[in-house]
Each structure stands twice: as C-alpha cells, then as structure tokens.
Amino acid sequence: MSDEELDVELEARLEEQEEFEPPEAFVEQANVSDPAIYEEFEENWPEAWERAANLLDWEEEWDQVLDDSEEPFYEWFVNGKLNASANCLDRHLDDRGDEVAIEWIGELGETRTYTYEELHREVNECAAALRDLGVEEDDVVTMYMPMIPELPVAMLACARIGAPHSVVFAGFSADALATRMNSADSEYLVTCDGYYRRGDPLDHISKANEGLEDVEQDATTVVVDRLGDDLDHDLAEGQVDYDALVADHEGAEVEPVTRDAEDMLFLMYTSGTTGKPKGVKHTTGGYLSYVTWTSHAVLDIKAEDTYWCSADIGWITGHSYIVYGPLALGTTSVMYEGTPDYPDKDRLWQIVDDYDVDQLYTAPTAIRAFMKWGEEYPERHDLSSLRLLGTVGEPINPRAWKWYYKHIGNEECPIVDTWWQTETGGMMVTTLPGIKNMKPGSAGPPLPGISADVVDNSGDPVGAGRAGYLVVNKPWPGMLRTLYKNDERFINEYWDEYSIPERDEWVYFPEDGAKLDEDGYITVLGRVDDVINVSGHRLGTMEIESAIVGVEGVAEAAVVGGEHEMKGEAVYAYVITEDGYEGGADLRDEIVGAVEEAIGPIARPEAVVFTHELPKTRSGKIMRRLLEDIANEDELGDTSTLRNPDVVSEIQQKVQGD
Ligand code: PRX
C-alpha cells in the first residue's frame, strides 16, 4: 500500500473507530495505571482523598478528612495547616532549585526562564513589597494582567502572605474590573502598562485606570512595565512601579504564613444566570490537594517534564493547571504570552519542538482553528516529545478529537477530554489516561472519588442513552466553598435544584446537560442556563443584555448562543428599538461598542438582529429556545404557546437575510 493509500485507510479507520485504547508505552510509565483505584476510592470514601492531600507538605496534619455537619458548607482536611506558596516553591529548593519552574515565551520571541530558586526569590521580594504597601492577611488583591511572569509571581506572593488574589482576565473591560474590585472590597491592584498582540504594543493601563475611577474604595496600584519604550505611561498618585518596588526589597525573605486548610486561597469571578458575576471562593488545603492530584493522575505530570497548558491564567484553567498544580509537583510549566498564529500558524508547534514539551493541554476552539489551517503547520516540526494531550472548556467534536489524536499526537498520545468548571476547582469527568479507553466526543467517566450522574427534572437517574442534567452527588476537596459574601446565592445557584435537605441529600448542579452511555461515560452537551460558551469562555447572557439595553434607542434585548464553526458558540443579540429610533448600522455599532465596553471584545455579538417584537409566551417570558433555533437555522420547536407567533417568521427572514 502506498503512503497515500495508508492514509486513506487510517482515515477510514479513525472515522469508524469509536474507542481507543491507551497507548501501551504510555501506560507503562503512567503515574496512575492500576484500575483498582476506582474501587479504592469507592470503598474508602472520603478517607481515600488523603491520597491527594499527601502529595503536599503540611505544617500540621488534618484531624478529619471531611466535615459534612453543615451541608452544603463542607470542610476538607479539617484543622490541617499549610501554605500554598511554600508547597509550590520552598519544598522544591533542595532537590530542584536549579530546575526550571516557569519557561516564559513572549510574543515577540523573547524568553525568560525562572528556576525554582529564582522564582522563589522574586516571589519573596514581591511578598515583602506587597506587605510594605499595607497588604495584610485576608486582604483581597486584584490582578489585572496578561500572560506575563509577574502574574504568577504576584499570585504566589499573595499566597505566601495569606492574601487571597482575585485575577481578572486582561481581555475584560474597565467596567468588568471595577465591578469585581467593588464586589471583593479589594484595595490593591497589580496590573501592567500593556502587552503585545500580533506584534503590536497594546495599551492596558488606560483601561485599568478607567476601571479604577469606578472603584468605590481607595486602591493602591502596582504597575508592571512590560512595554518599556513602546508605551509611555505616567504613574498616577497611589501607583507604584513593580520593578522599583521589588528592587527595594532585593533579597528579602518572607516566612510563608501558616494558613488553615479552609482559609481562602483565591477568589475567581465567573458568569452566572443573573447579570452579577459570582465570586467563587477556593480554599488552601482542599483546592491545592485537588489540583495537585489531578495534575498527577490526569495530566501525568512528573517533576522532570516540560508541561504546557496554553490557557490564560485569567481563567480557572490557568490558575489550576499553569500555576498551582504543576508548580506543586515541581515541574516546568510553559507560559506563552501571545496568539497561536503569530508570527505564523505554526507558533504552538514551534514551541513544542523548541522546548520538547511533554504534555499539551488546550481548548477545542484552538484545535478547530488548527484543523482549519491544515496539517502543514504541525508537519513543519518535530512533535515526538509529546506524551499526552488534553482539552478543556467545551465539548470537542469527534472529528476535531481525531485530528488532534493523529496530527498532533501521532496516535501515540492519549487525549484527556476534561470536564470541569471554575466552581469545581479542578477536573471532574475524564478518562484516567493510563487506565481507561478513550471515546472521541465523550469526556469519560467521573474521576475516582467523584460521584456524578445524569438525572431528569425530578432528579431521577435517566440511565444510559438519554439526555438529562449532570449532577454531582458527593462533595470533593476542590469544590468551591461559597460565593464571596453570599452564602444564600451559593445555595440558590448550585444546591437548590436537586437537593433534599430534610433527607440530608445534597446534590451539586453544575447547570450542564449530559448523556451517559452503557460504560458510564459522560458526554457533556452544554449549559442549560443562560450562560453561553464562546471559544471556551463563559459569558452570561444577562450581562450582555444589560449592556445592550443601556444604549440609547434600545427598548429591549434578548441574547442567546448560536452554533459557530470555530467558536463553538457565538453571541446572537435580538434587539427592539424604541419608537423614533432606526435599527441600522450606526445603532448596531453602538451596541457592539457597548458590549465591548461592559465586558470585553470576547463578548462581541456575531449578529445583531433588529425586530419590533420578541417571541413571548402568554405569561410574557421570552422564548429563548426559539431564538436559538432561529440563530442555528434549525427547525423550530413548538410555537403554539406563543402570544405573538407571527413575529417568528419575521425574525427568521431577517437572520437569513443577514
Ligand atoms: O459547560 C461546561 C463547559 O464549560 C463550563 C465551565 O466553564 P468555566 O467555569 O469557565 O470553566 C472552563 C474551564 C474548566 C462547563 O459548565 N465545559 C468545560 N469543560 C468541558 C465543557 N463542556 C464539555 N466538555 C468539556 N470537557
């Protein structure tokens, strides 16, 4: 058979094959390869979770693994004491001080390498500096920074002095920054002058300053100078230059503060059903144990590996799997500042090749782009260092999965399709790569110790083959503990739907739809609340709607997610104008601008459809499902319950005409 024929044959096999065994060579060296681990967790639950905690160094051992007396306010590793920064840095110094902790690659090609020793030094200096500025234990420090090394440095410095950080994605708007700082009563901000995108310097400090104007409390701001002469910036009153500050504390050593296992490590804001972002609270002991354990068991990270997660640290994936998990294991974590297609579409593969990356963890939206760009880009490079591939953030379609498997992994790397959320802290549903077969398109079974199921409206399991709602029936160490200063919303958002408090049955509802197969594999179908997933980024439709209705001339707006070939989902906005206003190009631009200003360019509507009415039920509720069907040009669901059925075909025509 010729090479070409072989390729055709393989392609056909890959199309057909629905199950892939873990490659033997991988299994032989896997961190976890004994299938008994599943029973072990089941039979010895919750004590089996000590296995995760034992991957860390504790100053004082816990005296109880799980305290469930105040459900759903669970506590893990009760009375245990530790420090996250000491676990990510100090404990590696003796054996691995000279090994690389962070390998940073700037978009313009410059690099910075931090050994554990060097990272430890800068984190100590930064911690001393923050303390000098007045940061005390339990003060929330906000960070509004792109992918530059000072971000993980500042996070670990905060962890060292017991000050929770709250990282705001740099692509978010000034408004989004202000909302989050106000909500967290945060009096400190670490930000930077700007960064590079596609080779050009991008001003960031103006956005930060604009946000600070709306912050209710006085805030001290530290500014990293990333752009040097490429961007002149003046520091306002109360703003301090990062380099000068750290230089003032050269050689300083800060004793890691002893934190209780349940003390807050960080806050991370995420979108929910209502317009107000939720401040998800993660703790020191449970979270760090959980991300370290999953980095070890799922990503198969070993200290001597070079591991790369291409997410942004501004999202939970970067917190858990660029910073905390990998560094706790003493590995080399790669950080890349820029975009995957700059200067060319082989940038990622060049980095894998140059640094001999062992594991690559990325998002389906990126894989879809690579696929579209074509095989020629990965083919330019030697990718044989890769041992494992991962995906996260959204469902991956089997075609993209198989492309990733073949063209990036050369059929030699297992793929872990990991389902989890900001709230879960770490991975929940995925195959253990050294044990389980992979099924493209299906994330896999719940991890050992995780009890997940798919249920119907009344909470009864639907069994194999039928769609329902994903639920988690038992607590886990990495779970969020509450929403910042809002226990009530925490219960309403996650526990109200399926729990039966009278019977002490507490069920966590992640607001995702899912399907089980006969082997217990879970295929995640997507959000069932008013949250949409654009390129793996979670956006609340209400937040977008409230930005749109703030535009002069807009009377009402409904936002839904429509399918999108590259982004997974895209924002569709249906807008009713006020009397006397015309729904034309100008208003559309204003609407797009308002969304970018309120949230950021990631929330930019793909389409703005002007209509004089929205489809509503007789009780006045907007029929979002119908609007989704229209966006997707799908066959429409039942319209008989509508108060105004005529409007449907009118909107349909507009969308199709666009
Ligand atoms: O809908 C699920 C989807 O992303 C949501 C969580 O978003 P976020 O909190 O921003 O965290 C993203 C990174 C962990 C989930 O509710 N999601 C995440 N991973 C997957 C997924 N959907 C399908 N398959 C996945 N592997």
pLDDT digits (tens, 9 = 90+) for 77-101: 999 999 999 999 999 999 999 999 9
Atom of ligand 1 nearest to the CA of 422: 9
The position carrying tokens 């039920």 is 617
Report pLDDT digits (tens) over 94-131: 999 999 999 999 999 999 999 999 999 999 999 999 99
Q: What's 323's DSSP letter? A: I
Q: How confident is the model at residue 15 (pLDDT cuts 50, 70, 90)?
A: low
Q: What's 321's DSSP letter? A: I
Whether 521 maps to a domain, the answer reads no
Distances (CA, A) of 33 to 28, 30, 386, 444, 630: 8, 6, 19, 16, 47
What pTM value is reported for the model? 0.95
Q: Which two tokens stand for residue 255?
A: 């004793």
Q: Which domain holds residue 545?
A: 531-657
CA distance 316 to 420: 10
Whether 179 maps to a domain, the answer reads yes
The CA 441 to ligand 1 mean position distance, Å, reads 14
Residues with C-beta less than 6 Å from any ligand 1 atom: 270, 316-317, 392-395, 417-422, 443, 510, 512, 524, 526-527, 533, 538
Whether 211 maps to a domain, the answer reads yes
Whether 546 maps to a domain, the answer reads yes
- Mean pLDDT for 44-54 is 98
Distance in Å from the first CA to the final CA of the chain = 49
Q: CATH number of the domain at 629, please.
A: 3.30.300.30
Beta strands in 235-347 (DSSP E): 239-241, 259-260, 264-270, 278-283, 306-309, 332-336
Q: CATH number of the domain at 105, please.
A: 3.40.50.12780
In the prediction, which pLDDT does 315 show? 97
Q: How confident is the model at residue 13 (pLDDT cuts 50, 70, 90)?
A: low
Residue 61: pLDDT over 90:
yes
Whether 476 maps to a domain, the answer reads no
Q: Which two tokens stand for residue 171?
A: 């692509």
Whether 17 maps to a domain, the answer reads no
Atom of ligand 1 nearest to the CA of 430: 26
The CA 567 to ligand 1 mean position distance, Å, reads 14
Please say which residue of 352, 376, 407 terminates a domain: 352
Q: Tell me how many domains the chain contains.
A: 2
Q: Which two tokens stand for residue 469?
A: 């709602």
Report pLDDT digits (tens) over 525-578: 999 988 999 998 999 999 999 999 999 999 999 999 999 999 999 999 999 999
The CA 613 to ligand 1 mean position distance, Å, reads 33
In the prediction, which pLDDT does 16 show? 61
3-class DSSP state for residue 122? helix
Closest residue (by CA) to atom 15 of ligand 1?
A: 421
Directed axis angle between helix 624-632 and helix 646-657, to 10°?
Answer: 30
| Residue pair 591/554 in contact by the 8 Å Cβ criterion | yes
Query: What does residue 459 show for φ and ψ, rounded to 5 degrees?
Result: 90, 5
Instruction: Decide: residue 553, CB within 10 A, 0-12 exposed, 13-18 middle, 19+ buried.
Output: middle
CA 101 vs. chain centroid, Å, equals: 21
Whether 139 maps to a domain, the answer reads yes
Whether 416 maps to a domain, the answer reads no
Residue to mutate (ligand 1; options 421, 515, 531; most atoms within 8 A of CB): 421
Q: How confident is the model at residue 504 (pLDDT cuts 50, 70, 90)?
A: confident
